[in-house]
Amino acid sequence: MEAAAGRKRAYSIIVPTYNERLNIALIVYLIFKHLPDVNFEIIVVDDGSPDGTQDIVKQLQQVYGEDFVLLRARPRKLGLGTAYLHGLKHASGEFVVIMDADLSHHPKYLPSFIRKQKETGADVVTGTRYVKNGGVHGWNLMRKLTSRGANVLAQTLLQPGASDLTGSFRLYKRDVLEDLISSCVSKGYVFQMEMIVRATRKGYHIEEVPITFVDRVFGISKLGGSEIVEYLKGLVYLLLTT
């Protein structure tokens, strides 16, 4: 592994970014605010954002220190799974958190993830919108119905052992994350679903914590019609191969 010599953290938080200049400073601030007594590092994997995201991260390094905020850039958009792998190469933590940079995943939930893992010994702790005290804020009715319908369809066909398949706010044991990524072939929107289905099939211990997903505050949503088509294709693929 390429983690710096002498730098050892308990938790590595991998945050993939593309055009998140307006959000990255706030998400980093909130992570530090909500984890005051936790030994962690933030690894920003930026895919060549043209909006100056990397410049903001470099400024954050001056504030928080380059050992706590790591910028591990790539030249262009290369996919979510490979972004996590790229972050893992530079991670020193025994546990790895993956979360979005667009403020849809609020760092206030991070202590609940850590506490749940410690209490249960779980291999994976995943945030869920679909249990008591979980939910979605900022979506219109049609998007809520589409998301709920897609989730129910996947639950029925795949029996995944988790209530929220497409969420991407999760904590993994490091070796579990490495194993799951190496097993997955899906890209884009389907990737997170395949990760949790594979985890169930491999017998990993999965726990859930309720979260409220908030639609992105700044910037443009990257979910569109093509992602919904890919989701349905991925559902069929997983049904046939898992």
5: pLDDT confidence band, cut at 50, 70 and 90? very low
Rounded to an integer, the average pLDDT of 5-31 is 90
Protein fold of 1-101: Spore Coat Polysaccharide Biosynthesis Protein SpsA; Chain A (3.90.550)
1: pLDDT confidence band, cut at 50, 70 and 90? very low
Asked if residue 139 has pLDDT above 90, the reply is no
Asked if residue 99 has pLDDT above 80, the reply is yes
- Which of 20-24, 223-227, 234-238 is modeled with the greatest confidence? 20-24
**What ranges make up the beta strands (E) of 28-178?**
40-46, 69-71, 95-98, 124-128, 135-137, 170-173
Rounded to an integer, the average pLDDT of 226-235 is 65
pLDDT at 4: 47
Q: Token pair for residue 127? A: 């945030």
User: How crowded is residue 24: how many other Cβ atoms within 10 Å of its Cβ?
Assistant: 25
Q: How many residues can be counted in the chain?
A: 242
Contact 103, 27 (CB under 8 A): yes
Rounded to an integer, the average pLDDT of 204-214 is 90
DSSP state of 21: T
Asked if residue 93 has pLDDT above 50, the reply is yes
77: pLDDT confidence band, cut at 50, 70 and 90? confident
d(CA 4, CA 132): 41
Rounded to an integer, the average pLDDT of 134-153 is 60
State the DSSP H helix or E strand holding residue 212, giving kind and residue range, or none if neither. strand 212-214
The residues of the chain that CATH labels 3.90.550.10 are 1-101
pLDDT at 232: 67
Rounded to an integer, the average pLDDT of 35-56 is 96
Rounded to an integer, the average pLDDT of 80-85 is 86
- What mean pLDDT, rounded, does the chain reach? 83
d(CA 83, CA 88): 9
Task: For residue 190, give every residue at least 6 positions away whose Cβ sits within 8 Å of its Cβ, in sequence order, or none.
Answer: 230, 231, 233, 234, 235, 237, 238
Asked if residue 238 has pLDDT above 50, the reply is yes
Q: Between these two residues, 6 and 41, which has the higher pLDDT value?
A: 41
